[in-house]
Amino acid sequence: MTTQPRMPALYLPHGGGPWPWMDMSALLEDRERRSLTEYLAGLVAQLPRRPRAMVVISAHWEERIPTVTTNPRPPMLYDYYGFPPETYQITWPAPGEPQLAAQVRALLEGAGFTTAEDPKRGFDHGTFVPLKLSFPEADMPTIQLSLEGGLDPARHLAIGRALAPLRDQDVLLVGSGMSFHDLRAFFAGLPRQARAARSGPFDAWLREAVVADPATRDAELAGWKAAPDARVAHPREEHLLPLMVVAGAASDDRGHVAFHDTFGGFHITGVQFGG
């Protein structure tokens, strides 16, 4: 009897705003744009098989308690500001899956979490921007799970551990964030060499932490604030915490760096656990 590998869990960089569909030449080199586009567009090809559904933990949704979307036809949530009019016409009409949302709640509550559901919320740009490149047909049943207010890394690792059984049901767990997220630095006019230097120490620590043995990895991620230049990379940690969820869901699977490049001159990293 052949046992299929568990579905991997991913932490991917979603870039900045609706970057694939607008002129970003003032901030991005063409090479950087191509690199991240090709990674996201080729994401499915790196999986052992096509998933049956996705749970996305986006950096752009926080609630007091973990909350899931339950709308079977999620609307678009254009949660960005000041971009060209056409970027507010982007669509990604993937279906929701209320039954999966109920299962996520049951798993979390079984692990001691109090949860909630949101029947109205749509896909924010942490979901639709990267996944429109990865699943352009928009036919993948997808729900979102919020971050938990307080942004405690150990709590988010525990959330991931509770959701690990979904990987045996061909559900792809996606943490969508950015491994470097200091918006002031992005728009400060720093030379590219300074941008690389500013983001380099934390990125090097992160790439080492995620490939460590699972016990070491989880301890390192739980204590991420002690990493070199941690608060330089993340003045606020909401774009890092989706990594904690998928790392928790990784269980005993080792991680590997699935993507590493620069975005606007700053180092960014994507990680795959398992697969």
- Tell me which residue of 247, 118, 225 sits closest to 177, measured CA to CA: 247
Residue linked to tokens 């890092």: 240
| Per-residue confidence (pLDDT) for residue 187, from 0 to 100 | 87
**Rounded CA separation 191/186 (Å):** 11
Inter-residue contact 61 to 124 (CB < 8 Å): yes
pLDDT band at residue 1 under the 50/70/90 scheme:
very low
- Tell me which residue of 164, 195, 169 sits closest to 180, measured CA to CA: 195
Residues whose CB falls within 8 Å of the CB of residue 197, separated by 6 or more in sequence, listed in order: none
The correct CATH number of 9-273 out of 3.40.830.10, 3.40.50.10800, 1.10.3720.10, 2.60.40.10 is 3.40.830.10
**Rounded CA separation 153/159 (Å):** 10
| Per-residue confidence (pLDDT) for residue 31, from 0 to 100 | 97
**Residue 147 pLDDT greater than 60, yes or no:** yes
**Rounded CA separation 124/77 (Å):** 5
**Residue 2 pLDDT greater than 70, yes or no:** no
| Per-residue confidence (pLDDT) for residue 186, from 0 to 100 | 87
Residue linked to tokens 């909630």: 116
Quick one: tokens of 6?
């568990």
**Residue 275 pLDDT greater than 90, yes or no:** no
**Rounded CA separation 130/15 (Å):** 8
**Considering the entire predicted model, what is its pTM?**
0.97
Give pLDDT tens digits for 14-30. Answer: 999 999 999 999 999 99
- What's the mean pLDDT in 88-114? 98
